[in-house]
């Protein structure tokens, strides 16, 4: 199954990413200051594919963080239930109240 996934998904994705990098290797300016775009202290010139890959990685990181935060409730609930199961396993077994055995007459 792993090999199929590699050949069907990752290999074509790698080909597309390499083609994207080769096609967009011209340096473009990226400035942080929108009011003075000519400021050389806040401008970086890198190939376009670097910015595209950086945006992709940033999107993956932000999306993963958002998913992790949103699923925190479920992780907390799982920890609580795990602690409850551990507590119940550590308690000695108790006879059910309705089916209690009568005490022998001595």
55-106 tens-digit pLDDT: 999 999 999 999 999 999 999 999 999 999 999 999 887 766 665 566 677 5
Q: What are phi and psi of 46, to 5 degrees?
A: -135, 165
Question: Does residue 93 lie within any of the structural domains?
Answer: no
Domain with 61, as residue range(s), is 2-81
pTM of this prediction? 0.64
Distance CA 85, CA 38 (A): 63
Instruction: Count how many domains the chain has.
Output: 1
Question: Does residue 55 lie within any of the structural domains?
Answer: yes
Question: Does residue 38 lie within any of the structural domains?
Answer: yes
DSSP string, 30-78: EES-SS-TT-GGGEEEEEHHHHHHHHHHHHHHHHHHHHHHHTHHHHHHH
Distance CA 29, CA 37 (A): 9
The total number of residues shown for the chain amounts to: 106
């Amino acid at each position: 199954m792993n090999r199929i996934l590699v050949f069907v998904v990752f290999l074509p994705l790698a080909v597309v990413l390499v083609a994207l990098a080769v096609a967009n290797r011209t340096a473009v300016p990226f400035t942080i200051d929108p009011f003075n775009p000519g400021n050389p202290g806040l401008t970086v010139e890198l190939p376009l594919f670097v910015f595209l890959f950086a945006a992709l990685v940033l999107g993956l990181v932000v999306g993963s963080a958002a998913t992790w935060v949103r699923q925190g409730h479920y992780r907390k609930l799982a920890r609580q239930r795990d602690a409850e199961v551990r507590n119940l396993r550590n308690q000695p077994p108790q006879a059910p109240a309705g089916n209690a055995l009568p005490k022998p007459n001595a």
